[in-house]
Structure 1
């Protein structure tokens, strides 16, 4: 047999098969690199196809009638906004479950896509206020062409801001984005007097109220879980007693939350009735959870890691319910202005209200789900993993705080953002962990001598990443001003383009 390493053969011409293998390896490496680089482009391409199909569908629905070109452009803007809502906002629902390893990324995307679409199509708004929840006075935009231009500017400015926030890794409130867009376009169209400033003040108040309430609720829930289960000598025995109770509490919170927020478009329900619905669901949930937890707890080791098995199912269900409620409520952010434009250029609803056509609702529902599937994983990882370490118990507390805080805010009449509540809850459990760790270190310092650490090392050991904290808070603060400014500029640009087209 010929020895290919024989020095006598080094100066001989290479066999053809060696040259071929070497060239094929180079081609394979180039192919692999090209595939890696092109992955983001595939998602962008699919998104562009969806936007084009939405615009085409809008044109076909109008049948080439009066204002059909405007409907086509507005449909494209709404589809673009829906994609960005899916990419940014849904991470708040799925991030904790993924961070706690209760759901894989693929499983989270599938569950969220199904529940978001179902929430939007089943319980989505039947009517949308003419001008985005009364932020701008209808009388100030009485001229149809001015109103349509303002709505288009609001759509595009909100979509652009959400796209930038997603790229920066900052979960922001889509409701604040669309409200800022409408306010900015309204100011440019009719002056500062056109804006409902008391309403804007309430929105500004929610920047503080939402994350603080969410963080306090989540930290309080985690403290309760520590006292009832985690800090007990026999954790599994304590879990058998208290986890069914915690599941019942979560069932009450989410049933009440869905009745208040997700199902209000199907039937009228008061806060008291919602609480009664939630109480009935809590009783049923406890009856089902008690034997389930008893069976799941058999044979588990007495340690914290074993407890995550008992919290997995509640986390998956909570993520699904949050996505359903999000689809029911936030789809209006994507398609509200489009519905207003379609109504203005077609038959209007009664009483200043706008009936949302089914084709408009479909654009919003599928756009949110598609945006989640294409661009959501990056922000889901950031929310679930990179802010602070989440396990099943901490993620449970975040989910519970989101539902309970919305209920409490509705009872108190406070404006809150579900996005800010969820992110505030994650920060809340992270800062609670830091407080517990600091207390443990102080207790240890009394017994042993701890080594001195540099300031940089102390910062590295923080359990909440301060860089994410500052980025997210900054994005929250500038969301309304940024979208308002961009919407005002877009209003002028779109107005100029319309004038050029007419002349």
Structure 2
């Protein structure tokens, strides 16, 4: 029985805001884990959509904390609310609404923002409006540390990722016969990745000991044990698979056949469910923007998108048939270099039935397909931008097969980052709801609150759903718009960001995965030894999103709280 049943309507509204906040968290932050994998063509959007549903749900439900701090980072004091607990319900509702509104707005604009800093900003606004104490000084989780992380986190992450990519670049990719060097090195890179990510998950899991508490001996045992275990598995299973697919160029082989291990060394191995097709490896350096220097490219930009391949169009474009539209063809003037672009969801699902009555079953079915698939069928790799083409042209191209070997490590690191995100950042959405619900049920203000398993299930599902429907905006912003992304570069970015988060955990610094990944991408791009290999305009755009998140979320939360506390009531003057 609830202690404060008169406020059940506020709990209902907070629950709606909680759903929006979890959805926005998934749409914005989940995309960061997979952005480089999509941009590098390692994974497709549908693949990432399904993977994120699994990894986020697993992280939130299996690893998510059962005891959630009611006030994120203790950013505001609770003493102000102990005399009037119902005010805390109101405050948490305002913070949840502010967080949901800003995350969804930022995602729509394309701002990759920190969900942690969003809820911190919202709580600061609520605290100021309620005249509660706000933690401004330099201490764990304070506002000053959050602001410092805007610069510190990207710089540290950039250094680590640049070192990782530098080791790949000079020891493998730029050596004579890079593919042979890559075959010899890949087991060690896979093992190193496994070791780092094992430690990352161990330390970052809620309730787990910090590196300080864990001790150097146990930490080394985790890393070395995982390293040598993964190294053995790589030699026994991965190398035969890579040799069969990339050296023998057996087009029947897919990753599912890695379980055959040593059998793949045979001349005619027993391959189950052989794949069809004649492509062994995709071209990771296929141009994903039109050629630089094309002055009219912006005028010829259409709503379609591209996978790969270029062609020159004919002098006089012929009228397009329905089949042409479905394939993504467009009519453009003479001499403009154009991609054969796969259609955007509007062309793929809506255009073919646009001439039919709105009540026609075919048109209704096309609307249903568009609604459920538009988020994972958009092209997030290619960009019709001549200025961006000049940025991509500064990136050196390497052996395609050597790049392919690193896709497996990149997928593993992206999945681990996503699982860690689900386990940690679920508290950003759940925390305010738990705080309000605890007060509603007990009538008392508490520091900690038990998280019912069902709320973690809902949050985990919404994290994945948020990416499925809206994650494409952030994938575009954090991928090839910043620099040319390839598997070797993407792998270095993700692993460098993971190492940075580990180090920050050791030092007690509140860093954002978004900021770490951005710094990593810039650091790797600068390893081209040309500052023009970075799209600094996009970097400034991303940084501006971090800068305005705290004040925007705070302003929204503060205004909602101030208006709620000072609203005239019936029967009173």
TM range (shorter): 0.7 to 0.9
Encode CA deviations 1:391-442: one digit per residue, 9 max, x unaligned: 1100110111011111122223333211110121112212222x1x57xxxx
Residues of 1 paired with 2:240 and 2:122: CA distance? 52
After superposition, where does 1:76-87 map in structure 2 within 5 Å? Answer: 76-87=16-27
Are 2:143 and 1:200 equivalent residues in the alignment?
A: yes
Residues of 2 paired with 1:304 and 1:161: CA distance? 43
- Which residue number corresponds to residue 469 of structure 1? 539
Q: TM-score scaled to structure 2, two decimals?
A: 0.68
Distance apart, 1:239 and its partner CA: 1.2
After superposition, where does 1:332-371 map in structure 2 within 5 Å? Answer: 332-347=427-442, 352-371=447-466
- Which residue number corresponds to residue 226 of structure 2? 281
Distance apart, 1:243 and its partner CA: 1.5
Are 2:60 and 1:120 equivalent residues in the alignment?
A: yes
Residues of 2 paired with 1:81 and 1:327: CA distance? 14
After superposition, where does 1:366-385 map in structure 2 within 5 Å? Answer: 366-385=461-480
- Which residue number corresponds to residue 441 of structure 1? none
- Which residue number corresponds to residue 483 of structure 1? 553
Name the structure with the higher helix share: 1
**Residues 203 and 474 of structure 1: is their aligned pair in 2 closer, same or farther, counting only changes over 3 Å?**
same
After superposition, where does 1:25-424 map in structure 2 within 5 Å? Answer: 65-142=5-82, 143-190=84-131, 193-198=133-138, 199-262=142-205, 264=207, 270=214, 272=216, 273-291=218-236, 292-293=238-239, 295-297=241-243, 299=247, 304-347=399-442, 352-424=447-519
Residues of 2 paired with 1:500 and 1:294: CA distance? 77
Distance apart, 1:128 and its partner CA: 1.6
Q: Is the 8 A contact 2:206 2:424 kept in 1?
A: no
State the structure with bigger RCO (CA 8 A, min sep 6), 1 or 2: 2
- Which residue number corresponds to residue 455 of structure 1? none
- Which residue number corresponds to residue 364 of structure 2? none
Distance apart, 1:158 and its partner CA: 1.5
Unaligned runs of 5+ in 2: 250-396
Encode CA deviations 1:97-150: one digit per residue, 9 max, x unaligned: 111111111001100111101110011111122322211111123221221121
Distance apart, 1:279 and its partner CA: 2.4
Distance apart, 1:337 and its partner CA: 0.2
Unaligned runs of 5+ in 1: 1-60, 439-461
RMSD of aligned residue pairs (Cα, Å): 2.7
Residues of 1 paired with 2:526 and 2:398: CA distance? 23
**Residues 177 and 300 of structure 1: is their aligned pair in 2 closer, same or farther, counting only changes over 3 Å?**
farther
Give the match's secondary structure for 1:346.
helix
Size of the aligned set, in residue pairs, is 417
Q: Is the 8 A contact 2:39 2:479 kept in 1?
A: yes
Residues of 1 paired with 2:571 and 2:241: CA distance? 70
Residues of 2 paired with 1:86 and 1:214: CA distance? 23
For structure 1, which segment, 410-419 or 110-119, has the greater mean C-alpha deviation from structure 2 after superposition? 410-419
- Which residue number corresponds to residue 13 of structure 1? none
Distance apart, 1:348 and its partner CA: 7.7
Q: Is the 8 A contact 2:102 2:552 kept in 1?
A: yes
Distance apart, 1:489 and its partner CA: 0.3
Give the match's secondary structure for 1:190.
coil
Residues of 2 paired with 1:373 and 1:62: CA distance? 36
**Residues 303 and 155 of structure 1: is their aligned pair in 2 closer, same or farther, counting only changes over 3 Å?**
closer
Q: Is the 8 A contact 1:180 1:481 kept in 2?
A: yes
**Residues 251 and 348 of structure 1: is their aligned pair in 2 closer, same or farther, counting only changes over 3 Å?**
farther
Give the match's secondary structure for 1:236.
helix
**Residues 418 and 293 of structure 1: is their aligned pair in 2 closer, same or farther, counting only changes over 3 Å?**
same
Q: Is the 8 A contact 1:205 1:415 kept in 2?
A: no
Residues of 2 paired with 1:261 and 1:498: CA distance? 46
